[in-house]
Amino acid sequence: MSNPLMMNFLDGRLYKGALKNFCAPGLNCWSCPAAVLACPIGVMQAIGGSMNFSVSLYALGGVILIGLLIGRVVCGYLCPFGLFQELIYRLPTPKFKLPRGAERIKYFVLITFVLILPAAVTDYAGIGEPAFCEYICPVGTLEAGLPLLITHPELRAVLGGLFALKIAVLLIVLIGSATVERFFCRVLCPLGAMYGLLNRISFYRLSIDEKKCVGCGRCARACPMLIDPTAAPNSSECVRCDRCAADCPSKAIEIGLK
Amino acid sequence: MSNVISTSTMTMSTAMIRLLIGLTAGAMIWAGVERGELSMILNKAARVCLECIGLG
């Protein structure tokens, strides 16, 4: 949806039109040749690290509004990197469970790398670095870095340690995503962290009919995020993938706008 | 009392919280546009972000 200009991958052109004023709902690098929308996390860091402002009201307000309406449906259905992880997880590799508490890392990433560092660590001109994009974001490396290096030979001359770090992070995320379902969404994604906080009150929500529920536990076993929907139907980790509702033999799980 | 877990917790206060958060988010977007964030976004988004691709 946010990357329709696939032909731009051939020559590495970037879309420069007015649509880039608007943020994509999911994590999507604005330097990706196919992208027509801006990245909300990129905008937060760019505005937060600018000379004039320390926080992007536009991007933050937009994320809160989308989160209030649909919560982590964005992660489940609208984020291109979520789809990419789902495909990678289908590879025949050993599968592991995420260690307890690893999900909390994404809140640290959000607060430190997206909100604090770009605004607090600035150069002589008062401009901060987009710390998440620069040191962590594997989406930028995959969607923009690698395609642009292929189509722009002049960029290869300035490759250095930072690119090596970005490639290392991308490899860790790829291996993680092949072995742990939705590794990046669960552990590192700052946008998922924000939408997750709004899952509990969002209009799009999951409900369990206790009269119909037979307590078989199939919903918990079907959940890629390892949530028990009967105990926490609107957990901040739920990406609203609908697998629990589809697997429920008594149709006790309803998901929709309420 | 309802047997549906999540709707049983859908109280008046939840509706109020939703309303407050929705209004706040709308006001934030409006304020961001008013103070000129869009031109800064377009200026950044229309160029290759060297930091994003690991060259910054």
Token pair of A155, please?
A: 């960029």
DSSP 3-state of A202: coil
Q: Check pLDDT > 80 for residue B9.
A: no
Which amino acid makes up residue A54? S
3-state secondary structure of A131: helix
- Mean pLDDT, range A73-82, rounded to an integer: 94
ipTM score assigned to the predicted complex = 0.89
Asked if A122 and A54 count as a contact pair (C-beta separation under 8 A), the reply is: no
Identify the CA nearest to A49 among candidates A160, A145, A133. A133
pLDDT at position A195: 97
- Smallest Cβ distance to A31: which of B27, B31, B49? B49
State how far residue B20 is from chain A, nearest Cα, in angstroms. 11
Contacts A167 to B, Cβ<8 Å:
54
Best of A5, A50, A57, A213 to disrupt the B interface (most B CBs within 10 Å) is: A57
Encode pLDDT of A117-148 as tens digits: 999 998 888 889 899 999 999 999 999 999 99
Residue B1 has pLDDT above 50, yes or no: no
**A165-175: pLDDT as tens digits:** 999 999 999 99
Q: What value does the mean pLDDT of chain A take?
A: 94
Alpha-helix residue ranges (DSSP H) falling in chain B:
5-8, 12-34, 37-45
